């Protein structure tokens, strides 16, 4: 496969440098450090335990949500930009994309307890290939308008990224890396997805259950 041959021919010093740079950036959990600085509390012990913008917003309100969202988005974008500027090679930019999301999801200094990776992924993807990234709102918004919930439409949009890259003829390596990204995001949301499907199943059961005759 051509993408395996590309990996074999890569400069492994640059591979290591890009991966470490991006992972370290990803480990900077904006929400965690913001809440620590403002309140002294550990965001991992609050609400859902996630270090993402929504949980930070529970503690710090709209400002905390916005700052965390922008910070997580920016670190994803910065990691890919640095890798591309340093190497001029999209393979390394893709590697940085995966590594920065990996650092966000599983930061070593926080005992691998991080966020869910959506904002960081979108920031990284916007710099890597804005054509693919801009498909997220196109796929997300109709589902959100219909369901009035964000989880399933967002996960559907992520699941479509590899197919979009394939349709845009971005190459097998890009498709493979975006498939890995999708799997990482779905794993990070596995509990949320399980809960969401359980709620939907309960609603469907309640809707189809025949009414008991009144005595």
Q: Which three-class secondary structure state does DSSP give residue 210?
A: coil
Cα 65 to chain centroid distance, Å, stands at 16
101 touches 27 (CB < 8 A)? no
pTM: 0.86
Domain boundaries, the chain: 2-206
pLDDT in tens, 86-141: 888 888 999 999 999 999 999 999 999 999 999 999 999 999 999 999 999 999 99
7 touches 19 (CB < 8 A)? no
Spans in the chain with pLDDT lower than 70: 1-12, 207-215
How deeply is 180 buried, as exposed, middle or buried, from its count of CB atoms within 10 A (0-12, 13-18, 19+)?
A: middle
- For residue 101, the model assigns a pLDDT of 97
Nearest-angstrom CA–CA distance, 62 and 20: 32
Closest CA to 33 of 125, 97, 107, 122: 107
């Amino acid at each position: 496969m051509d993408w395996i041959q590309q990996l074999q021919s890569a400069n492994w010093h640059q591979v290591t440098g890009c991966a470490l740079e991006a992972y370290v950036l990803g480990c900077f959990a904006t929400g965690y450090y913001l809440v620590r600085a403002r309140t002294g509390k550990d965001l991992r012990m609050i609400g859902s335990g996630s270090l993402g913008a929504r949980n930070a917003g529970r503690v710090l309100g709209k400002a905390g949500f916005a700052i965390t969202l922008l910070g997580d988005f920016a670190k994803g974008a910065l990691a890919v930009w640095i890798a591309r500027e340093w190497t001029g090679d999209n393979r390394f930019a893709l590697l940085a994309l995966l590594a920065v999301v990996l650092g966000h999801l599983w930061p070593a200094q926080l005992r691998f307890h991080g966020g869910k990776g959506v904002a960081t992924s979108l920031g990284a993807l916007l710099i890597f290939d804005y054509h693919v990234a801009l498909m997220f709102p196109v796929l997300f918004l109709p589902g959100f308008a219909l369901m009035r919930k964000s989880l399933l439409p967002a996960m559907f949009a992520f699941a479509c990224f590899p197919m979009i890259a394939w349709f845009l003829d971005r190459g097998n390596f890009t498709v493979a890396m975006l498939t890995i990204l999708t799997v990482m995001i779905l794993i990070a949301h596995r509990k949320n997805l399980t809960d969401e499907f359980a709620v939907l199943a309960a609603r469907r059961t309640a809707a189809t259950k025949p009414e008991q005759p009144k005595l």
